[in-house]
Amino acid sequence: MSLIRLALLEGDSEVRELLHGYLCQQPEFECVVVAPSMEQLLAELPTLLHPPHVLLLDSNPPGVEGLPLLRQQLPHTAIVLQTVFDDADRIYQALCQGASGYLLKNTPLAELKAAVRDVVQGGAPMSRAVARKVLAHFGAQPDGLSAHERAVVQAIVEGLSEAQVVARLGIAPEAVRASSRLIYGKLAASTLPAGQKAAKP
């Protein structure tokens, strides 16, 4: 595959430097925008020859609130929200506003890199902490997740890599990624008011 075009929107200068210093040195990535604010990101987008494949979005302003506008400007870009929060409510909010994935800010850099590659291949990154929240959320709803989906989430909670999940469950990597997306969709749907439909992640 060609280089993955990556955009970073991070308000914290130290975190931005860390992400830039690591991710932008990876041979499979091309950092097309590294912005400290929504305003700068939006100003730089029209200058790009091609839009980014993935945008890592800081949960601080604009965070979830900025997702609708970013979705308009970048309809084909996967947007992965990075945040210090991991409760089901915030996951739901991010998914319903168009986030393609959701990771905690303390996610190790190597896992962050893997998540960016995963989302480009159709996956929905899920950190171990978020996976624990998903299990807790559906714990009182036995029919909320299928046995297969529950097994995928449990494997993530245990820290298994995608390859290890594939080996344990005897499924293809594509099935693991598809399961994550379906699980996120169910989480969003289960927290919506009656009669309202969730946006597809």
High-pLDDT (> 70) share of the chain, %: 89
pLDDT tens sequence across 23-35 = 999 999 999 999 9
Structure-token pair, residue 1? 């595959």
pLDDT tens sequence across 33-70 = 999 999 999 999 999 999 999 999 987 766 678 888 89
* For residue 137, pLDDT beyond 70: yes
What pLDDT was estimated at residue 195? 47
Which of 32-41, 86-95, 130-139, 159-168 has the least mean pLDDT?
Answer: 86-95
> What's the rounded Cα separation, in Å, for the pair 9 and 78?
13
* For residue 194, pLDDT beyond 60: no
Q: Can the peptide bond before residue 62 be classed as cis, meaning omega within 30 degrees of 0?
A: yes
What pLDDT was estimated at residue 91? 73
Is CATH 3.40.190.10 correct for 4-191? no
> What's the rounded Cα separation, in Å, for the pair 147 and 170?
14
Point out which residues pair with 78 in neighbouring strands. Answer: 54
Runs of H (alpha helix) within 45-201 = 67-73, 88-96, 109-120, 128-138, 147-157, 162-169, 173-191
Within 8 A by CB and 6+ apart from 17, the residues are none
Domain residues of the chain, as ranges? Answer: 4-191
Q: SS3 breakdown of the chain: % helix, strand, coil, rounded to 5?
A: 50, 15, 35
What pLDDT was estimated at residue 167? 95
> What's the rounded Cα separation, in Å, for the pair 103 and 123?
13
What average pLDDT does the structure give for the chain? Answer: 85
Q: Token pair 């959701």 is at which residue?
A: 102
Q: Token pair 């097309």 is at which residue?
A: 32
Q: How many residues does the chain have?
A: 201
Structure-token pair, residue 162? 């995608």
High-pLDDT (> 90) share of the chain, %: 42
> What's the rounded Cα separation, in Å, for the pair 197 and 176?
24
More reliable by pLDDT, 143 or 181: 181
Write the single-letter amino acid at 103.
L
Which among 46, 45, 130 is positioned nearest to 80, based on CA atoms?
Answer: 130
* For residue 146, pLDDT beyond 80: yes
Which among 113, 123, 118, 99 is positioned nearest to 177, based on CA atoms?
Answer: 123
